[in-house]
Structure 1
């Protein structure tokens, strides 16, 4: 099958000629999802046109387009002649009036711009978007892209955007209660939030900035646990924040690193079996130590992750959805 994969084009750093690639140079949730899904689709024999990520590494079976404007994307799609267009941009980069079959994965909170032939990352995200029957396909993970580590180092990890809705302060409070250092890795666009975090937890938090490549996978693999303490407030677009898919959960789990999470959004759907859901309320030192002591073993966590979210499994699920759309079926 020929697949045109459309992602939102985002600049990388201060250089106006550079774009976040697939896979991303550092932070880039959608780009990681697409890279991993492409792994599975390529192994299934698909041919892919990648749009919205100029400069992405070349690989057999993938054509990387330089197009970033919608009219350029439209031209590139028509020249490629795909069987299906898979949109990851919430229509932001999708040409209007495209007559080819389209499937749209929603990566955000709230309702998508395009309801027809949508795919959601979790039941919580789907419900918040006002749908009850559209497919739910979890975020994929390719174990070959990660490092498995059974013996862990003595630190906890927060990986992601350093913002209130991601629960970084709550992660620091848990680590402080557990008397275990917390490494925080990710972009910090709200400088006041980061400065307050470091001031309030000076002996607990080590901020390492945005980390990519092998340094990132090692950081994930060696952590005792990954903290995903998502909060329902303070989201980037206002309103209630509902964690949609949580790439960091599958990444940690496939590395053998268990997850400690809140019950926000998708997390109670995916964390059981690879970690624990943290009870609401203040965590005492005794509670924190008990949570750490009760986490599942590294090998069991990895096996669960591969079974649930392996890139082959998720690619097969998407191919089934593609075929529904290509056959003329429509759903909301």
Structure 2
């Protein structure tokens, strides 16, 4: 399991672990798949996340470079390599059967044996025959609550393409406070939200551990108002997978999303998907909140559709296909 190696915040002595200390979408995906694969009896080498906790069946490598990764893989001798680094840690023609999950927008640099997260992402990459496997969630890692607190939640990178400003606008229309939780690397953008919505938006920073799971369980709704502009690499942003949708649902919290990318496919099952350009009136916001599903339905739907054992079984099929010499684009 190849994880993209990144330092944890400004601390040059730590790497983002699997699962992550705070923000880390790919790290949560890797952690959840590892949970399912260990339950299925696999032996796993985790590369690219030094400091992660080993456990029976899971070996944690200290490798964080391309060359060190190749050495670690040779020593481990995998049946198949699962790359989450978008080609950063795995050559175009690896020495082992490989599967690559694409976590970005656009076409992947290396197209062989790609797995996409949504139909929207797959279409945007120009692929017609590659597998589509949703992002997993392990319900045992989350807190489930039916009684909710009096706030809305934004959980993710506080950036234009993630729709943090639109979340504040929705919360103001709904007359509910908004808690913004996540890294804010574009400080001017964050300052603009707090200036324009001073009585609505509260920035609580990057969160992890029980603080994160409590927020997901306590919120009246999670706002995932992704926008088709302002992406980190420029150009149109098409939301590829949105781990946080399943995380909220398994916590019993409904999702209010836009129809951008994967959100049009998954959000209506656990909430609603609104047009990205919509700026709701108070009446519209109240109607949306009143029509959201109940917590028990949300949790059952999340486990049935995106539970880690369900998604792991899909990946095991793909692993076997790659290990037997199968290829696809």
TM-score when normalising by structure 2? 0.98
CA contact (8 A) 2:166 2:279 kept: no
Aligned to 1:272: 268
Matches within 5 A, 1:210-229: 210-229=206-225
Q: Which runs of 4+ in 1 moved over 6 A?
A: none
The alpha-carbon deviation at position 95 of structure 1 amounts to: 4.1
Aligned to 1:295: 292
2:253 corresponds to 1:257 = yes
The alpha-carbon deviation at position 14 of structure 1 amounts to: 2.2
Gaps of 5+ in 1: none
Aligned to 2:123: 127
The alpha-carbon deviation at position 15 of structure 1 amounts to: 2.4
Aligned to 2:67: 71
Cα-to-partner distance string for 1:236-259 (whole Å, 9 max, x where unaligned):
000100000001100000000000
Distance 1:81 1:311 in 2: 25
Cα-to-partner distance string for 1:23-59 (whole Å, 9 max, x where unaligned):
0000000000000010000000000000000000121
CA contact (8 A) 2:270 2:298 kept: yes
| 271-280 or 72-81, which deviates more | 271-280
Aligned to 2:306: 309
SS in 2 for 1:313: helix
Matches within 5 A, 1:232-247: 232-247=228-243
SS in 2 for 1:288: helix
Picking from 128, 136, 139, the partner of 1:143 is 139
The alpha-carbon deviation at position 98 of structure 1 amounts to: 2.1
Picking from 158, 161, 177, the partner of 1:162 is 158
Aligned to 1:111: 107
Aligned to 1:325: 322
Gaps of 5+ in 2: none
Distance 2:12 2:157 in 1: 22
Cα-to-partner distance string for 1:106-152 (whole Å, 9 max, x where unaligned):
00001111111000000000110110110000000000000000000
Distance 1:197 1:42 in 2: 43
Number of residues of Structure 1 aligned to a counterpart in Structure 2: 328
Cα-to-partner distance string for 1:219-269 (whole Å, 9 max, x where unaligned):
010000000000000000001000000011000000000000000000011
The alpha-carbon deviation at position 96 of structure 1 amounts to: 5.5
CA contact (8 A) 1:158 1:182 kept: yes
Please tell me the root mean square deviation across aligned C-alpha atoms, in Å. Answer: 0.8
TM-score when normalising by structure 1? 0.98
SS in 2 for 1:111: coil
CA contact (8 A) 2:3 2:49 kept: yes
